[in-house]
Amino acid sequence: MQSPSMSALDWTIVFLYFVLIGFLAWWYGRKQKDSIDYFLAGRNAGFVAIGASIFTSNIGSEHIVGLAGQGASTGMAMAHWELHAWILILLAGFFVPFYYKSGVQTIPEFLERRFSARARTILSVVSLVAYVFTKVSVTVYAGAIVFQALLPDTFGSPENAFWVGAFTTVVITGIYTVFGGMRAIMATATPQAVIILFGAAVITYMGLTRLSDGAGMIAGWNELVAQAKANKEAFALWRPLSDPDFPWLGVLIASPIIGIWYWCTDQYIVQRTLSAKDLATARRGALFGGLLKVWPVLIFLVPGMIGWALHQKGAIQLPMKVVDGVATLDGDTVFPTLVTTLLPAGIRGLIVACLLAALMSSLASLFNSSASLFTVDIYEKLRPGRSERHLLTVGRIATTVVVILGILWIPVMKVISGGGLYQYLQSVQGYLAPPIAAVFLLGLFWSRINARGAVWALGGGFILGMIKLTCQAFFGTGNGKIANPAFLAAIGDLNFLYATGLLFLISIVLLIVGSLTSPPPPRENVEGLTYASIRAIAGEEIKQSWDTGNKILATTILVLVIGIYLYFSFWLG
């Protein structure tokens, strides 16, 4: 067994990589001074660029760290969330034609035009809360985990290395962003993705080879399957209803709700399709993104399982953690540990540099998004007519507050995320997604849904979701949580998959009751803002844009997803 180590060559490459990034930040920042520059791409992107952008927007290094961790700790249980490629067929088939032809440029804009300004404000508040509980805390946590794996004893203890890494990630990214780093991030996003994919492929190859004692990848895969069969309950794709974490019924209920919210209604994903030169290209770009989305199960989840198998065999040593008084594998350390133990010097440094740069890019994007969200959708509506300098200051303050709250949430997150970073991420998204998914699904396809129903669903669903998250953080029967009163402990312990489904059902009821107990929406809130009205206006163009190429792509995605499901449904016998 060996401990993770970084050579002088690796650190040299890390240093040179960031020198290059810093140069690009200066180069791109010296001319472009206006934030409008970000939006000048226009509707002329090709489907490959759109699909690749969708994929790289989804796959960040915090995603890689968490997904590999889930592979090591829960096997294929979280693969359902990574097989959401089929939901991108829904995006291409139903949502893209609507977004493209309605003229709506942003998701908050749709809510304001379709319902009311109050609905837009609620979505903005929910988004800021989501930044605190998911994007900030998860991104900083993932960066800290990488530091902890790379420099476990440099600062006295692994715990000290974790917090030094957390604060270093935030501070360096803040400086980086101020000096024009956002433009450098845009210029380097695709090369970073290529390098990380290359590193994941090399880790898979070398891990399987090490697992087979040099006999090759096929022998290594057979060894992995044999080890997983001996621990079938922990590595199966489908779990019985008695499973406390991933009952199959809960997975079937919650996974599509989170997927539809994320892939079909999130501005970060949807805006990529709006940059297409025509509707057929926009739909093909979404489908190409779906084709790329098929592979994370094989290139990120499987390496996590390989890391677990190598640990069981004694070929590498992975850190442990204590959950409910029981020592268990710390899955979130698997990917950085595999990088430092399996990859050769030089490539190891390059992958580490990419991981850190990708973490910084995610955080820098968050800095920009949270500032814009608060100033444009909330503050400017409360205090109209303020100067640009004033709004810029307010945005920076808002970003600072969001980041501080995210860091303060990390200790609580570590308690909640006993099952791993990726499981924590999906559970919190499961409490935020249901009301948004309900409002969009019914609002797009049922013209009777009105502003009161949308506000009831968004507001009520958000409050109930926060109650569930608060109870889960502090109340329950294990991990040092508060056991009384019993009903709060029961809410805290309620499986997050069933809680997601329950929140979705309640949101639909609030949406329908609120809408039917008030007058129908005015004509201007429906015309061109529902799927039926868009088809009435541009039905022939929508039909023609679903051409042979798009049909082939959609069929290919379905075949691949079904094939992966069939193999891993029976891979353990």
Rounded CA separation 515/523 (Å): 15
Identity of the residue numbered 353: A
Q: Would residue 445 count as lying in a domain?
A: no
Q: How many domains would you assign to the chain?
A: 1
Question: What pLDDT score does 401 carry?
Answer: 80
* Burial degree of 339 (CB within 10 A; 0-12, 13-18, 19+): buried
Question: What pLDDT score does 345 carry?
Answer: 84
Task: Report in angstroms the alpha-carbon separations of 303 from 29, 66, 204, 434, 478.
Answer: 38, 12, 6, 31, 30
Rounded CA separation 424/138 (Å): 9
Question: What pLDDT score does 503 carry?
Answer: 97
Locus of tokens 């489907």: 47
Question: What pLDDT score does 571 carry?
Answer: 92
Q: Would residue 2 count as lying in a domain?
A: no
Question: What pLDDT score does 182 carry?
Answer: 46
First-to-last alpha carbon distance for the chain, in angstroms, is 31
Q: Would residue 517 count as lying in a domain?
A: no
Q: Which sign does the torsion angle of CA 363, 365, 369, 372 carry?
A: positive
What pairs with residue 323 in β-bridges? Answer: 326
Cβ pair 47, 96 in contact under 8 A: no
Q: Would residue 500 count as lying in a domain?
A: no
Output the domain CATH number for residue 107.
1.20.1730.10
The set of residues, in sequence order, having a beta carbon less than 8 Å from that of 308 and lying 6+ positions away, is 71, 72, 73, 227, 318, 329, 331, 334
Q: Which residues of 37-53 are buried (b: 16+ CB within 10 A; e: fewer)?
A: eeeeeeeebebebbbbb
Length of the chain equals: 573
Q: Provide the domain limits for residue 77.
A: 8-415+543-570
Phi, psi for 341 (deg, rounded to 5): -105, -25
- The pLDDT tens digits along the chain (573 residues) read 344 467 888 889 888 887 876 676 667 555 544 433 433 344 566 888 788 878 877 877 677 888 888 898 889 998 999 899 999 999 999 898 888 887 776 778 788 889 998 998 888 888 888 877 877 778 888 878 877 777 777 777 777 887 887 777 777 776 665 555 445 555 566 676 677 778 888 888 989 999 998 888 999 999 999 999 988 888 999 999 999 889 999 999 999 999 999 999 887 788 778 778 888 999 999 999 999 899 888 888 999 999 999 998 888 888 777 666 677 777 788 888 888 888 888 888 888 887 777 777 667 667 766 777 777 777 877 787 777 778 777 877 877 787 788 788 877 776 666 657 788 888 889 999 999 999 999 998 899 999 999 999 999 999 999 999 888 888 887 667 788 888 888 998 899 999 999 999 999 999 999 999 999 998 888 888 888 888 888 888 889 999 999 999 999 999 999 999 999 999 987
**DSSP-derived secondary structure for 188-209:** HHHHHHHHHHHHHHHHHHHHHH
- DSSP state, residue 212: T
Rounded CA separation 500/257 (Å): 8
* Burial degree of 195 (CB within 10 A; 0-12, 13-18, 19+): buried
Task: Report in angstroms the alpha-carbon separations of 309 from 65, 76, 298.
Answer: 17, 14, 16
Question: What pLDDT score does 181 carry?
Answer: 44
Q: Would residue 404 count as lying in a domain?
A: yes
422: closest CA among 146, 153, 79, 131?
Answer: 79
Q: Would residue 552 count as lying in a domain?
A: yes
Neighbouring C-beta atoms of residue 299, cutoff 10 Å: 20
Cβ pair 237, 79 in contact under 8 A: yes
pTM score:
0.86
